[in-house]
Amino acid sequence: MKIKYELLCNDTKTKARRGKLHTNYGSFDTPMFMPVGTLANVKTLTPEQVKACNSGVILSNTYHLWLRPGEDVVDKAGGLHKFMNYDGPILTDSGGFQVFSLAKPKDITEEGVFFKSHLDGKKLFLTPEISINVQNKLDSDIAMSFDECIPYPASYEYAKASTERTLRWAKRGKDVFNNERQSLFGIVQGGEYTDLREYSAKETVKIGFDGYSIGGTSVGEDKPTMYKMIEDGIRYLPLDKPRYLMGVGDPIDIIEGVIRGIDMFDCVLPTRLARHGNAFTLDGKINLKNLKFKEDFTPISTECDCYTCKNYTKSYLRHLITCDESLGGTLLSIHNIRFLIKLTEDLRKAIEEDNILEYRENFINRYKKETK
């Protein structure tokens, strides 16, 4: 069965929308933040710990699983859900982001992309067909089209050529797609150019996908440009399909994305911040290594309902982090993931109550006051 998006209600003053996505592995509410499980695990967490954060869906990385353990191993295990013991919805990316981060422009050809393995420098060649074939075998619930994530800034000529090529890649990927249980998303590119975003969105919709993603943001552009990139593409996307903003996990960006009509987000930020001792709070980020927490026997946040805040003090977390005990990263990952999921829960409630603009104002005023 393909996924099905159910629209529950719209905010009346913005494009924000509240919905539900139904998959073969259960349904989840949108807007929703997806924790990232790069190598078939959300770093340092068991599936039960991830689910206890009330997460509805997780993301895993095709490029990384292609290299280790290889899609055939996952296929023989019975697919990614069985392999990693996660019976909830899983989305896999396409490897397109690795094209951006590991390849040089001259390595990108019409056929596909040459780049060097981050593990051993071995030359690799990734094509739309390989990406889709790998994802079909991983058997995630949602696969992503193989795209080029355009750097910022990029010349109009480069962005135009890349956007057109990404459309051809999307078509090629869809043509070889072969997994009836799996859904496929198209990706809107176009860089920072309004007309290219429009062109990309319209042509991607013409090819026809089960959902759509906004790509090419969070690559160094300023915030107004990022929000405009979203607006320039999303207005042409069908209302009956889910929209996913790739690689975005900053709390304020999530709010701005939801207000512009985004349903799904993913980012390594909560787990990466955690491993470096950082925690989200409604008053901005804090670093647990700070000496001032040495004898602070209160939780990270008394307003948070996560396992970590219910059971551990800042003093203990600081102790674990400063002693390089990985349980510290585990406990902070739980908190940070729960923070972003709770944010999307609050946003869903704000949409239902039709007061998301007020919610944004209150959130930002408090969050930015403390974050320096």
Catalytically active residues, by annotation: 93, 266
Q: How far apart are CA 247 and CA 121, in angstroms?
A: 25
Q: Choose which of 2, 6, 22, 69 interacts with a second copy (CB under 8 A).
A: 69
**Residue 172, amino acid:** R
- Nearest distance in Å: CB 98, a second copy: 16
User: Of the listed pieces 76-84, 184-192, 281-289, 357-365, which binds a second copy according to CB under 8 A?
Assistant: 76-84
Asked if 68 interacts with a second copy (CB under 8 A), we say yes
Q: Of 40-59, which residues contact a second copy (CB under 8 A)?
A: 40-41, 43-46
Q: Choose which of 7, 77, 176, 282 interacts with a second copy (CB under 8 A).
A: 77
Q: How far apart are CA 166 and CA 177, in angstroms?
A: 16
Q: Which is nearer to a second copy, 325 or 358 (CB)?
A: 325
- Nearest distance in Å: CB 272, a second copy: 14
Q: Which is nearer to a second copy, 39 or 207 (CB)?
A: 39
- Is there a contact between 100 and 219 (Cβ–Cβ < 8 Å)? yes
- Is there a contact between 336 and 280 (Cβ–Cβ < 8 Å)? yes
Q: How far apart are CA 335 and CA 46, in angstroms?
A: 14
**Strand partners of residue 116:** 123
Find, among 229, 235, 214, 227, the residue nearest to 253 by Cα: 227
Name the E strands within 194-322: 211-214, 243-245, 264-267, 278-279, 286-287
Q: Of 313-332, which residues contact a second copy (CB under 8 A)?
A: 313, 315-316, 318-320, 322-323, 325-327, 329-331
89: its two tokens: 């919805």
Q: What is the dihedral of CA 138, 188, 359, 32, to 10 degrees?
A: -10
Q: Which is nearer to a second copy, 106 or 310 (CB)?
A: 310
Q: Of 82-101, which residues contact a second copy (CB under 8 A)?
A: 83-85
Asked if 294 interacts with a second copy (CB under 8 A), we say yes
Binding site for a second copy (CB under 8 A): 39-41, 43-46, 68-69, 73, 76-78, 83-85, 294-295, 297, 311-313, 315-316, 318-320, 322-323, 325-327, 329-331
